[in-house]
Chains A and B, each alone.
Chain A
Amino acid sequence: MKAADLVDSSFGTIDRRIFWDPAIYELELERVFARSWLFVAHESQIEEPGAFVTTYMAQDSVIVARADDGAINVFLNSCPHRGNRVCFADSGKGRAFTCNYHGWAFGLDGALKKMPKMGLYKSTPGFRMEDWGLRRARVASYKGLVFATFCEEAPSLEQWLGDFRWYLDAVLDVEDGGTEFLPGGATRSVMRCNWKFPADNFVGDIYHALWTHLGGAEPTLGRHGGVIVENDGSYQVSVNGHGWEFNDSFFGNAATMGDRELLRYMRSRQEAITARLGDFRAKMWGSVASATIFPNFSFLPGYFTFRTFQPKGPTTTEIHAWTLVPRNMPDDIKDRFRRGSMRTFSPSGILEMDDGENWEHSTSANAGWVTRNQKLCYAMAPAGEVERDDLPGEVTAGQLSDANQRLFYKRWAEMMDAESWADIPTTGSDAQFSEAAE
């Protein structure tokens, strides 16, 4: 079975079995996750030497640690002796990671440093300390976001993100000083759904908001309010499977948090952000929008929730979420974003609460034997002209469309069917993206 046979990305049909089949999931771990650059941390989470967080790259537990020289190392959180986890804290600070089982101790770079009764190993022919460190990943950052991959053949992170970086700057580079994650670790929750449903929702499905989120949007948007979602002045863009759907409303997403002070602050920043990024990207900052960096790292402009959809099996996904803000933003405004993103997009959020229900039941209903033989419809492609020819990536006019989702699954199928990275097409160079004309 070829993945390309399960996905028709031109008209837009998808075989339902990709959302629950254990064999497909196993192949995803190998062909998609283990070959992708995966988000692991924001640099602000591990500022000091010795600071670390633990997270997952697909189902592989990893440690992300800041070394004494300032470098960020990512390595497996599994002792090469018997396999036990070596770190059970979500975050912290230390000099070494010591396995609970036999006491093997590893440094901030993952190297094996010592163990009890080292003489037993020193007198073991062929044993070398340097052979038994925690396996290290390749690590690279883009404007504060740290990614890692264990795949030596994968292109650089710059190539992987490609021209999507130009759009990412609309949330990562709106002012000097960069960004940070608000403190306190990740908001984590379990959903009984396939990881691709939330990922495809964020890559290009604003359409669901018009129905799923009616109840959550009603109390915050005022008596005659409402977020306008139209295909005039809105877009979908896709690069290497990454996708962003957005309009030009500047703070349309943020408005649903129902905090007028926050909107007043955002408005006060518009001129400066426009001067920095140009009018087109400035209007993306908090607009009605959502995005996924392939395969499972997503965010929402305006709420600035950034989240990974961590696969835990074909029908189980953990959401790990953080809130990103410009580092130099006033503390009071940061706190308003903290509370605003919590009240909308967290497990208690008046908008997120209605999403899990859809993804769980889409996953379970797709498994029926007769049900699975009817393809799912990803065909929405309303006619429309892109009026600008200077925008990077594959650009579609109108955010109400399945265009990005089709391209997400096209990318998914390419990676699933490719024997090696040489068979996976990647657009864009590793050169710093030249500023598009504004």
Chain B
Amino acid sequence: MSTALDRKPDYSTFPRLSLEEARAAAADLLAMKGAGAPVEGQMLGRIERFYRQEARILDEERYEDWYDLLADDLFYWMPLRENRFRRDSRSELDPDSMAFFDESKADIAVRIGRLKSNLVWTEDPPTRHVYIVSNVEAFETGVDGEFETHHVFTQYRNRSEHDEATLFGRRRDLIRAVDDGFQIVRRLILLPQSVLSTKNLSVFF
């Protein structure tokens, strides 16, 4: 359990990328196309187990445990999607554009601070979650202990009587092996929706 998330900590002291570091991380994520040697066998099994465990931690709303799965140099990005003609030469995923998430670890801490405040009426009674992670691929990156992964997810939420949301998406991660598992260093979350079909993203991906 992280002690860093005590009530009302000073978030300005939490890990945060500079703008340049965030832009470099975004460029790295955009360049990840599965070009490295595929990771097979036991290591792929460990990576898949890590994602099953992460999904269960999020299902159970164990946000402080999830926070500990994030590296201090985290870059966490969910860009907006726009409908554009194929002939349009602009890059659709542009780090200068508005996003749903564009976060350092400190920003995630603020979000967890909100959820922990016991003052969030939207989450009380709580939401019930089911995450499904699938199609996991992993690739060597050239850095020892760091892996590029690609996978898809389904995230179902239900609360109250009829409130529900089903979001499908694809994730692209850079993960780093640590003593007892992995940490997420970079994460790109791509939702296919250009108009978000739900009223909020009071969840993590």
Count of interface residues, chain A, beta-carbon cutoff 8 Å: 47
Interface assignment of A191: CB less than 8 Å from any CB of chain B:
yes
> Could you tell me how many residues of chain B have their Cβ less than 8 Å away from some Cβ of chain A?
45
Instruction: Check if A135 is an interface residue, CB within 8 A of chain B.
Output: no
- CB nearest neighbor in B for A321: B98
CB atoms of A342 and B11 under 8 A apart: no
Chain A interface, >50% SS class: mixed
| Beta-carbon contact of A89 and B8 below 8 Å | no
Kindly report which residue of chain A lies nearest to residue B118, judged by CB atoms: A215
A353 within 8 A of B: yes
Q: How far is the CA of A353 from the CA of B200 in the complex (A)?
A: 5
Within 8 A of B (CB), among A191-244: 191-192, 212, 214-216, 218-220, 222-223
- Tell me whether B196 and A190 are in contact (CB under 8 A): yes
Complex partner residue of B98 from A182, A189, A354, CB under 8 angstroms: A182
Of B38-46, B54-62, B81-89, which stretch is located at the interface? B81-89
Tell me the number of A-to-B contacts counted with CB atoms below 8 Å: 141
Q: Given A90-B83, A354-B120: A184 and B97 within 8 A (CB)?
A: yes
Cβ contact within 8 Å between A322 and B195: no
A352 contacts B119, C-beta separation under 8 Å: no
Residue of B whose beta carbon sits closest to that of A364? B162
Q: CB-CB < 8 A to A212: which residues of B?
A: 121
Residues in B whose Cβ lies below 8 Å from that of A107: none
B69, chain A: closest CB distance, angstroms: 19
Chain A residue numbers with a CB within 8 Å of B132 are none
Using known A-B contacts A88-B83, A212-B121, A218-B119, determine if residue A342 contacts B199 with beta carbons closer than 8 Å. Answer: no
Is B80 engaged at the interface, CB distance under 8 Å to the other chain? yes
Kindly state whether residue A50 has any CB partner on chain B within 8 Å.
Answer: no
- Whether A190 lies near B84 (C-beta < 8 A) is no
Contact A348 B200 (CB under 8 A): yes
Complex Cα spacing A290 to B196, Å: 24
Within 8 A of A (CB), among B106-136: 107, 109-111, 113-115, 117-122
B99 at the interface (CB under 8 A from A): yes
Cβ-defined partner of B201 (8 Å) among A188, A192, A215, A347: A347
**Contact indicator B199/A192 (Cβ below 8 Å):** yes
Interface assignment of B2: CB less than 8 Å from any CB of chain A: no
Partner of B196, one of A189, A216, A219, A335: A189
A188 and B194 contact, Cβ closer than 8 Å, known pairs A90-B82, A183-B94, A354-B120:
yes
Pairs of residues from A and B, 7 with the lowest C-beta to C-beta distance, nearest first: A184-B97, A219-B113, A356-B199, A215-B119, A215-B120, A189-B196, A348-B201
Q: List 19 A-B contacts (CB under 8 A).
A: A89-B88, A184-B79, A184-B99, A190-B199, A191-B199, A215-B118, A219-B8, A219-B117, A258-B11, A260-B12, A343-B110, A346-B100, A347-B200, A353-B200, A356-B122, A356-B200, A357-B199, A360-B163, A360-B199
